[in-house]
């Protein structure tokens, strides 16, 4: 059995003081949003307590599905690397980037270079994997579980938070999923933007979500984990053998009692029994102010079987 923990959208703070020149871009909007909204809703030690609780449950691997930073300042990206090292090493933690990690042109390249140990395929030459999209999807196999990291991160215009996979990455994803399926591995897709229909507002959507759904419908997967929406969600998309579960998780720093759910993480216990996959889910986090972390949902997912 493999225990896989999933958290997302930590939006690590506090925000470093930006240079004036760094704000002559879309960053000015994100900076104002942080000052007006996120600096108050993402305060306290919720992330620290959440990670401590998660580690107490001894996951074998941790998945982080993007938005580690806020406006992708160089100091934010370096600070996120320090946080990742505290979370675990690259062997035990897998990351995919989110739209905030690619907030302005060039930011994603810097983030990928800094966090490369956490988003590279097993056995890959890290030096040859720094070329942005060329390194995605990556594949990491832990026991009989294959983690497939997909990048949707793109620098977008002001007031947009859309993502895109692109045709080249989608073709590679299809080939990877087909190969892993032939090897009878449990395929977990890690992606920031949710790929199901009407998952979020138009200006925050995954613009080629239909392309991702088509790949999964043809090649198959057992589970899709995403962030981006800052809410706990469960959905399904069609697979070749039945519906594939798509699970979202709230921001890992969100204070309880606000507009969005309090900080949470999901813990998946994945095993193969009598030739069939078993995947149990435990959702833990904050539900009320001044209350400790608790189990919110516990149950089993229906995994498609051919």
Question: What would the pLDDT profile of 122-148 be if each residue is shown by its tens digit?
Answer: 987 654 454 455 689 999 999 999 999
Query: Rounded distance, CA 184 to CA 241, Å?
Result: 14
Query: Rounded distance, CA 124 to CA 66, Å?
Result: 21
Question: What would the pLDDT profile of 273-303 be if each residue is shown by its tens digit?
Answer: 888 999 999 999 999 888 899 999 999 999 9
User: Which CATH number belongs to the domain containing residue 14 in this structure?
Assistant: 3.60.21.10
Residue 71 domain flag: yes
Q: Would you say residue 55 has pLDDT above 80? A: yes
Looking at residue 126, its pLDDT comes to 53
CB 151 within 8 A of CB 183: no
Residue 202 domain flag: yes
Residue 110 domain flag: yes
Binned at pLDDT 50, 70 and 90, residue 206 comes out as very high
Q: Which two tokens stand for residue 292?
A: 């400790």
Looking at residue 35, its pLDDT comes to 64
Give the mean model confidence (pLDDT) for residues 52-57.
97
Give the pairing type, strands 138-142 and 145-149: antiparallel
Query: Rounded distance, CA 117 to CA 32, Å?
Result: 32
Question: What would the pLDDT profile of 92-102 be if each residue is shown by its tens digit?
Answer: 999 999 999 99
Residue 148 domain flag: yes
Binned at pLDDT 50, 70 and 90, residue 41 comes out as low
In order of 2, 283, 297, the CA distances from 188 in angstroms are 12, 17, 20
Number of domains observed in the structure of the chain: 1
CB 217 within 8 A of CB 239: yes
Residue 172 domain flag: yes
- Report which of 135, 158, 10, 23 is spatially closest to residue 84, judged by C-alpha positions: 10
**Domain extent for 20:** 2-301
- Report which of 177, 185, 184 is spatially closest to residue 237, judged by C-alpha positions: 177
CB 174 within 8 A of CB 215: yes
Query: Rounded distance, CA 54 to CA 48, Å?
Result: 10
Residue 67 domain flag: yes
Question: What would the pLDDT profile of 134-190 be if each residue is shown by its tens digit?
Answer: 689 999 999 999 999 999 999 999 989 999 999 999 999 999 999 999 999 999 999
Residue 63 domain flag: yes
Residue 306 domain flag: no
Binned at pLDDT 50, 70 and 90, residue 306 comes out as confident
Give the mean model confidence (pLDDT) for residues 207-230.
97
Question: What is 38-53 written as a DSSP string?
Answer: IHHHS-TTHHHHHHHH
Sign of CA dihedral 54, 55, 56, 57: positive
Query: Rounded distance, CA 190 to CA 181, Å?
Result: 16
DSSP state of 154: -
Binned at pLDDT 50, 70 and 90, residue 38 comes out as low
Query: Rounded distance, CA 7 to CA 249, Å?
Result: 7
């Amino acid at each position: 059995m493999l225990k896989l923990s999933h958290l997302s959208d930590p939006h690590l703070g506090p925000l470093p003081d930006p240079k004036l020149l760094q704000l002559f871009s879309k960053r000015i909007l994100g900076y104002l949003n942080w000052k007006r909204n996120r600096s108050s809703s993402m305060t306290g030690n919720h992330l620290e307590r959440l990670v401590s609780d998660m580690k107490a449950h001894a996951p074998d691997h941790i998945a982080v599905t993007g938005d580690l930073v806020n406006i992708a300042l160089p100091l934010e990206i370096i600070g996120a690397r320090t946080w990742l090292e505290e979370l675990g090493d690259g062997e035990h933690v897998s990351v995919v980037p989110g739209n905030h990690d690619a907030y302005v042109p060039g930011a994603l390249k810097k983030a990928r270079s800094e966090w490369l140990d956490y988003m590279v395929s097993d056995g890959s030459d890290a030096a040859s994997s720094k070329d942005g999209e060329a390194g995605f999807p990556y594949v990491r196999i832990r026991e009989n579980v294959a983690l497939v990291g997909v990048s949707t991160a793109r620098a977008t215009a002001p007031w947009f938070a859309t993502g895109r996979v692109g045709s080249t990455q989608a073709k590679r994803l299809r080939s990877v999923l087909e190969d892993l399926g032939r090897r009878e591995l449990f395929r977990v897709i890690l992606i920031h933007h949710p790929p199901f229909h009407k998952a979020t507002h138009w200006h925050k959507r995954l613009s080629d979500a239909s392309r991702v759904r088509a790949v999964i419908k043809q090649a198959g997967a057992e589970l899709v984990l995403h962030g981006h929406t800052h809410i706990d969600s469960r959905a399904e998309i069609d697979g070749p053998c039945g519906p594939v579960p798509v699970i979202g998780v709230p921001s890992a720093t969100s204070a309880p009692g606000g507009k969005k759910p309090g900080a949470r993480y999901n813990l998946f216990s994945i095993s193969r029994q009598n030739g069939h996959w078993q995947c149990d889910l435990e959702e833990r986090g904050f539900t009320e102010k001044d209350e400790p972390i608790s189990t919110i949902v516990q149950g089993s997912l229906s995994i498609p079987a051919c």
